[in-house]
Chains A and B, each alone.
Chain A
Amino acid sequence: MRSPASPIGRLPEWTRSIRVRYTLLYSAVLFGLAALVVVTLYVILSMTLAGEPVTSAGRGLFCNRFTNACIRVAVVNAQQIEQLVNTETLDKLRDFSLKALGMMFVASLAIGWVIAGRVLAPIERITSVARDIQATDLSRRIELGGPEDELRRLADTFDAMLARLDAAFATQRQFLADASHELRNPLAIIRTNLDVAMADPDADPEDLRQALVVVRRASDRMGHLVDDLLALARGQAPTVQFEPVDLGAVVADASDDLVLQAEGREIVLDRTIVPGVVVSGEPDALKRAVANLLENAVRYSPPGSRVRLAVGSERGRAWVAVSDEGPGIPPEDQPRVFDRFWRADKARSRAEGGTGLGLAIVRQIANAHGGEVQLQSRVGVGSTFTMWLPVAAVEGSSRSRVRSGRSASAELHAPADGGAPSAEGSASEESPTVELGPAAEPERGPAPADGAAPEEATAAEDPRAAPPGDR
């Protein structure tokens, strides 16, 4: 029930219907207006036709000339007769008006009821459809026909909202189905290996150890998968407070963890890290995104090849670019690389411990930070992933605070042969020209996968095209 403070709450139950209230309002307004007109007419008329009672001016004899019969009659003023007629007319007018008003009141109630019913019928329909729609079946639509009026727009808005909800639920269902599918495979490995090992009464220790190794491997995979699923789920939650983050420091941090893995595969990790590129974001999430891009590059690079990593900013946007000399991604697959559980090479990715979620997480993190990820790739040449992020509004104090922390390590790990920042601030503007040029050059062909604005793509492809001074 409504709170007693609400005026509606004090009204009796039957007035809660808009139809009743609308009818009453319609009727009252109509009645009021009509009454006003009638009263005004009556008052104006009664003022102009002053009615006074007829007074006798005297008595006289009225004689018939032919019969000589005479009768006594009252003699009155003719003007008074006129007034008498006026008074009676006014009385009649009043009586008729009152009756008409009464009838009109009844009629207006009926008409109001009917009109209100007609106006509210679509709303009734919207309500009943909305009530019928369960969260599990969002395929129904209101589909209100008729003219393009307010109610039609309301119904269309509802339909659009339902379509969005339906799509969101479908995505969620698909995600759950994919996730359970991905979790079932390692689970099947674990269970089957245990079943087979346990069913063998005379298994030798070596067989058992082998089974344990396999189980361990499968459970590691499940662990990675659960971590990545959680990262994705967390990314969908409302973001935590962003803070100013030195992108260079984050990238240096992320790549430190990958150095050993890259060395193990005889891959040269070429880093051009410029300090002073500050974005607003969540350091852990950004680090994860960069680490995922790097892991991907290292995973698909042939031994002895080069993985380039560079950070910079231009025109108010910071970028992190990771390029590899791997097999590349064919154009038809490029739109799908950011999809969950999509793998270029399923068996190989799994053997390397990939969950198929890495790039989906990168895209989600970039989007959550108001940025985006682009892919340029050519089969047989390599791939370059570029994450663009908006640069944080520069506040002197926070910037120096951020920079003081980790930029030392960034410079420490920056390659000695090139790309060492000459001057902070302005160096970040020029950095794309320093390092990314050669890496990006082969990928100039295909358009960016996610349909980014052309000038951005050009900027990433060949920053040398524009002299540093003119921006």
Chain B
Amino acid sequence: MRVLVVEDEADLADAIARGLRREGYAVDVAYDGDAALDKIAVNAYDVVCLDLNLPGTDGMEVCRRVRAAGGPEPGPRVLMLTARDRTDDRVAGLDEGADDYLVKPFEFDELKARVRALLRRDAGRSGALLRVGDLQLDAARHQARRDGRPLALTPKEFALLRYFMSRPGQVLSQEDLLEHVWDEHADPFTNTVRVTVMTLRRKLADVGEGQPIETVVGRGYRLREEL
């Protein structure tokens, strides 16, 4: 799951990015509206945490352009972060196409919960708990199980498994995975995706019968809904 943090207060943006990375998200940071628009144009983000009060293009305008861009893919979910707390401001923000609104200062736990909630909307699921076949993933507690047995996953493997589980049955190419699970610092020419998928599959195979992640030759990988 890839997140863009747009915030002109570098100290705040970096802290949010650090906290979200620890949750297993691939996080990029933009310190002004124009940089944010550039990154949104290039990368496929699942969630954008957007400050309203930005130098250059302001947050409302960024939100408007993200929504206007449209395209075949659903655009990123927008979580507005702002110190403006009047009802008018919230209404204006939501009307401009924000999916959620969080007033500064916020509890970081709340931010995490809201990001999770926004990601669930995409997956069309109702809880923090994802279930596919005999796999279980609790995004809030950062735990993954197969057949009730816990899986010891690195944050990247966890993020990868979560992305698979939010799109069961879909064929996901290496580029999809790189875009949504890795941040912009990942080198697209290494085989980091292949290696991480491999270790994840080994860990899954260690605790259960059969391999839920199958290779679709020439196209990518798929998480089987039923084994």
Give chain A's interface residues, CB within 8 Å of chain B: 177, 180-182, 184-185, 187-193, 195-196, 199-200, 211, 214, 217-218, 345-347, 350
Contact = CB atoms under 8 A, between A and B. Distances in A.
Given A177-B86, A346-B55, A196 B11 contact: no
B16 A192 contact: yes
Nearest to A214: B11
A199 B12 contact: no
Given A184-B83, A188-B83, A195 B11 contact: no
Interface in B1-36: 8-9, 11-12, 15-16, 18-19, 22, 31-32
A188 B18 contact: no
Given A188-B12, A196-B15, A181 B107 contact: no
B72 interface: no
28 contacts: A181-B83, A184-B85, A184-B103, A185-B9, A185-B12, A185-B83, A185-B104, A188-B104, A188-B106, A189-B11, A190-B105, A191-B105, A191-B106, A192-B106, A192-B108, A192-B111, A193-B15, A195-B19, A195-B109, A196-B22, A196-B108, A199-B19, A199-B108, A211-B15, A214-B11, A214-B15, A218-B11, A347-B32
B83 A192 contact: no
B194 interface: no
Interface of A is mostly: helix
A226 to B, nearest CB: 16
A416 B54 CA distance: 46
A202 B108 CA distance: 18
A61 to B, nearest CB: 116
Nearest to B102: A188
Interface in B143-179: none
A184 B104 contact: yes
Contacts of B81: 188
B113 to A, nearest CB: 13
A189 B51 CA distance: 13
B84 interface: yes
Nearest to A193: B15
A192 B105 contact: yes
B39 to A, nearest CB: 18
A346 B10 CA distance: 13
A191 B9 CA distance: 13
Contact of A187 (B15, B19, B84, B105): B105
Interface string B26-58: 000001100000000000000000000101000
Contact of B8 (A193, A218, A346): A346
Contacts, number: 73
Interface in B67-121: 81, 83-86, 103-109, 111
A187 B104 contact: yes
A191 B8 contact: no
Contacts of A196: 15-16, 18-19, 22, 108
A189 B9 contact: yes
B63 to A, nearest CB: 19
Contact of B55 (A187, A199, A347): A347
Contacts of A188: 9, 12, 81, 83, 104-106
Given A346-B55, A347-B8, A347-B55, A184 B15 contact: no
Nearest to A191: B105
B11 to A, nearest CB: 5
Interface residues of B, number: 26
Could you say which of B55, B81, B103 has the most chain A C-beta atoms within 10 Å of its C-beta?
A: B55
Contacts of B104: 184-185, 187-188
A284 B31 CA distance: 38
Could you say which of A187, A200, A218, A347 has the most chain B C-beta atoms within 10 Å of its C-beta?
A: A347
A184 to B, nearest CB: 4
Contacts of A182: 83
Given A184-B83, A185-B83, A191 B11 contact: no
Contact of B12 (A189, A200, A346): A189
B22 A200 contact: yes
A217 B11 contact: yes
A187 B85 CA distance: 14
Nearest to B103: A184
The 4 closest A-B pairs by CB, nearest first: A195-B108, A184-B83, A188-B104, A196-B19
Could you say which of A184, A196, A211, A217 has the most chain B C-beta atoms within 10 Å of its C-beta?
A: A196
B29 to A, nearest CB: 13
B91 to A, nearest CB: 16
A192 B19 contact: yes
B84 A189 contact: no
Contacts of B8: 346-347
Contacts of B32: 347
Nearest to B109: A195
Given A177-B86, A346-B55, A347-B8, A189 B15 contact: yes
A372 B81 CA distance: 39
Nearest to A192: B15
Contact of A191 (B18, B31, B53, B107): B107
B101 to A, nearest CB: 14
Contacts of A190: 105
A51 B55 CA distance: 108
Nearest to B32: A347
A345 B32 CA distance: 13
A350 to B, nearest CB: 8
A87 B106 CA distance: 104
Could you say which of A192, A193, A199, A217 has the most chain B C-beta atoms within 10 Å of its C-beta?
A: A192
Contacts of A218: 11
A195 B107 CA distance: 7
